[in-house]
């Protein structure tokens, strides 16, 4: 693969992973399975290990996914809340074990095997035995302060008991719904005509991240504690199993499954047992967590950027059932991509009725070799979105109809063209489906975040002929809105205010909102970081776009052709007349002496998390990367720095400590 396509693939993987992270962590509506997510992640990791020169500073492999919601107060974790590497089979776990004994230079070690609770990871801080603060994981360094919501959880003590309570105790645990409670909550939501949760994990996440604590208090959440992250020096612990016992003695809920295992065979036997018996437990688990028992050995092995070397997740295979394909629906999205969706005979998989499964594109349909009325195996991998994983051809009868791509758009009848693995409707500015979804995207949380302008309102506005495109939104008046079903004075005024506010969203969000094919959130940021202003971007050439690090030929072509199209020109001009696209990219603010300088951060910092410092530096125009090279201007070093520190010294690169970098930023 030539380097630009390789680089582009890496960029594409990063964008996809970040997109799925957002759906999973912030919107509680994941659309791919854990296994599909792990595939994207592992492909990126593999490419980065063979081509470290292309590692991008925002790569999710370099940090824990997620970020803190702006609506919550922030909490900085004393010890980062890392992720776990995921493994699925005996060979993986043998490799994990062999590396550990080799690195520790021991012939045998002990592990604790725990449930991998499928809930929401939280940090809990007890001071003098009192629960004083709690946070979500966020990006691993900074999370959301959810203290008041956590305090509503009935099985979590506000005050610790027993003889051995440390002055300060920082824990990590998982908040979840028992399956019976989840079923009841969904019944209640349906009765109230509200949207039910997809699974218990999403229900827990949605319930915990409520700004109104009284809502959380009405939800019967549970918590299990599984790791001591930090304790004051009036407490001691030598092993993970001792830690768990001491937590239980303080009255903390830990669950009752923590066997100590001496061999990988024992670990794997538990994996097999619970893969089969997971449905008999009162809560969801999506695998087991394997932890080295000795805390001294844990410290000796240390951590990587996003996960520890001393623990891993041994995940379960997804749940599967068989059913039949009753029909194929064709969905036309914002970019015109036509997605085939299998309409299935409803089937119950692990407590959830499944009646649809995406087939992604027609190449996937071909690969599966699926036809109408086929018997198929459906998995709810990660117990999220169902996917067809195989077709049982032995049950097929000769008359079954093949699934063929459409030659016309099912919505607007425009011609359809094929580009890579997707078929696209060519009626970009006339196709009602493309128009609708592009307006929904424009207003979405990740784009302009126009509160009150969801799919339903967009449908109403289009049906009434009040808008034809995104720019028309800014012509809407109070009387237009008041004429819509369900719109009273307050709701109309709120929407007009939200439309007004949307014009001052960061310039990269405004670019992302245009919905240009190939331009995801990160790509939009890269483009605006290069051009600074929208006026410069509009006048660019394909050649200039291609010179940007992280932008490949296809993206360059797509951006260029977007701005060349007369209809888009008209819409962009109208948006500008309404006051959009006036901002300058934040780091292009004049006067920054860090503009364009490349920084690498290593070690633990005292007053910032690394991700917070990275954000600050980037806001001042600096670039933060993960590999030290001759291009690096400064390496910022905290305590316990990694090999980057040695490399910086050997290349003679200027080293800064935390105080130096603060001064430099001032």
Q: CB atoms < 10 A from the CB of 133, how many?
A: 15
| 414 within 8 A of 426, measured Cβ to Cβ | yes
The least CB distance from residue 376 to ligand IVH, in Å, is 31
Please say which residue, 44 or 476, places its beta carbon nearer to ligand IVH.
44
Is the Cβ–Cβ distance between 84 and 137 less than 8 Å? no
Q: What are the distances in angstroms from CA 234 to CA 29, 127, 310, 560?
A: 43, 12, 25, 64
Query: Residue 273 CB, nearest distance to ligand IVH (Å)?
Result: 16
Tell me the closest approach of the beta carbon of residue 178 to ligand IVH, in angstroms.
15
Task: Enter the tokens of residue 435.
Answer: 């128009």
Nearest residue relative to ligand IVH (C-beta): 121
Rounded Cα–Cα distance for residues 44 and 52 (Å)? 11
Full 3-state SS string of 339-379: EEEEEEEEEEECCEEEEEEECCCHHHHHHHCCECCCEEEEE
Minimum distance, C-beta of residue 21 to ligand IVH, in the bound complex (Å): 12
CA angle 69, 72, 74 (to 5 degrees): 90
- Whole-number minimum distance, CB 70 to ligand IVH, in Å? 22
Nearer to ligand IVH, 37 or 226 (CB): 226
Q: Which of 7, 78, 106, 116 is catalytic?
A: 116
List residues near ligand IVH by CB under 6 A: 82-84, 114-117, 121, 174, 226-227, 289, 308, 311, 313
Nearer to ligand IVH by Cβ, of 226 and 531: the residue is 226
Would you say 152 or 227 has its CB closer to ligand IVH? 227
Tell me the three-class secondary structure of 18-85, residue by residue. HHHHHHHHHCCCCCCCHHHHHHHHHHHHHHHHHCHHHCCCCCHHHCCCCCCCCCCCEEECCCCCCCCC
DSSP conformation class of 176: E
Closest to ligand IVH by CB, 317 or 549: 317
**Short-list 599, 649, 647, 648, CA closest to 620:** 599
- Minimum distance from residue 281 beta carbon to ligand IVH (Å): 13
CA-closest candidate to residue 641, choices 309, 231, 305? 305
Retrieve residue 242's tokens: 């001792």
Beta bridge partners of 353: 348
647 catalytic residue (yes or no):
no
Q: How far is the CB of 472 from ligand IVH (least distance, A)?
A: 43
CA 414/CA 433 separation, integer angstroms: 12
Q: Decide whether 15 or 114 has the Cβ nearer to ligand IVH.
A: 114
Q: Which two tokens stand for residue 121?
A: 């990871």
Catalytic positions: 116
């Amino acid at each position: 693969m030539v380097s630009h396509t390789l680089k582009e693939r890496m960029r594409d993987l990063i964008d996809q992973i970040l997109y799925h992270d957002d759906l999973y962590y912030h919107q509680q509506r994941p659309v791919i399975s854990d296994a599909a997510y792990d595939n994207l992640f592992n492909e990126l990791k593999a490419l980065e290990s063979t081509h470290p020169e292309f590692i991008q500073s925002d790569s999710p492999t370099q940090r824990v996914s997620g970020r803190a919601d702006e609506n919550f107060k922030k909490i900085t974790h004393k010890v980062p809340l890392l992720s776990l590497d995921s493994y699925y089979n005996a060979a993986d776990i043998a490799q994990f074990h062999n590396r550990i004994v080799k690195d520790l230079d021991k012939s045998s070690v002990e592990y604790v095997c725990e449930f991998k609770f499928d809930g929401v990871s939280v940090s809990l801080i007890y001071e003098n035995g009192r629960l004083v603060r709690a946070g979500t994981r966020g990006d691993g360094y900074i999370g959301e302060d959810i203290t008041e919501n956590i305090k509503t959880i009935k099985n979590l003590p506000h005050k610790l008991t027993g003889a051995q309570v440390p002055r300060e105790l920082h824990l990590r645990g998982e908040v979840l719904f028992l399956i019976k409670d989840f079923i009841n909550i969904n019944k209640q939501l349906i009765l109230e005509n509200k949207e039910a949760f997809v699974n218990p994990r999403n229900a827990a996440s949605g319930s915990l991240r409520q700004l109104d604590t009284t809502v959380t208090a009405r939800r019967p959440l549970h918590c299990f504690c599984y790791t001591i992250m930090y304790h004051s020096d009036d407490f001691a612990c030598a092993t993970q199993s001792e830690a768990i016992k001491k937590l239980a003695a303080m009255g903390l809920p830990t669950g009752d499954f923590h066997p100590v295992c001496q061999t990988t065979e024992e670990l794997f036997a538990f994996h097999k047992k619970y893969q089969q018996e997971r449905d008999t437990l009162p809560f969801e688990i999506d695998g087991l967590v394997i932890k080295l028992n000795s805390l001294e050995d844990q410290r000796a092995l240390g951590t990587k950027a996003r996960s520890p070397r001393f623990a891993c997740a041994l995940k379960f295979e997804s749940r599967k059932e068989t059913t039949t394909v009753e029909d194929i629906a064709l969905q036309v999205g914002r970019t015109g991509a036509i997605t085939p969706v299998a309409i299935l005979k409803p089937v119950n998989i692990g407590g959830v009725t499944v009646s649809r499964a995406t087939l992604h594109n027609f190449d996937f349909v071909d690969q599966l070799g699926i036809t109408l009325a086929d018997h198929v195996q459906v998995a709810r991998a990660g117990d999220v979105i169902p996917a067809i994983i195989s077709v049982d051809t032995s049950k097929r009868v000769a008359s079954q109809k093949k699934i063929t791509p459409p030659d016309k758009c099912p919505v607007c009848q425009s011609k359809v063209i094929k580009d890579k693995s997707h078929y696209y409707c060519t009626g970009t500015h006339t196709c009602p489906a493309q128009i609708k979804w592009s307006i929904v995207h424009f207003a979405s949380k990740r784009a302009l975040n126009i509160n009150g302008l969801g799919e339903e309102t967009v449908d109403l506005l289009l049906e009434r002929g009040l808008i034809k495109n995104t720019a028309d939104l800014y012509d809407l008046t109070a009387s237009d809105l008041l004429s819509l079903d369900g719109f009273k004075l307050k709701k109309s005024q709120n929407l007009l205010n939200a439309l007004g506010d949307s014009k001052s969203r960061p310039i990269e969000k405004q670019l992302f909102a245009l919905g240009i094919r190939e331009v995801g959130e990160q790509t939009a940021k890269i483009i605006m970081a290069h051009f600074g202003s929208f006026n410069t971007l509009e006048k660019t050439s394909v050649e200039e776009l291609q010179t940007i690090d992280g932008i490949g030929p296809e993206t360059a072509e797509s951006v260029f052709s977007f701005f060349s199209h007369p209809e888009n020109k008209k819409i962009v001009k109208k948006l500008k007349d309404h006051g959009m696209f006036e901002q300058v990219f934040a780091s292009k603010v004049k006067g920054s002496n860090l503009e364009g300088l490349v920084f690498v951060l290593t070690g633990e910092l005292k007053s910032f998390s690394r991700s917070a410092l990275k954000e600050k530096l980037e806001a001042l125009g600096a670039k933060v990367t993960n590999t030290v090279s001759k291009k690096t201007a400064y390496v910022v070093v905290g305590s316990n720095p990694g090999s980057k520190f040695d490399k910086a010294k050997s290349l003679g690169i200027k080293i800064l400590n935390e105080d130096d970098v603060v001064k430099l930023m001032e």
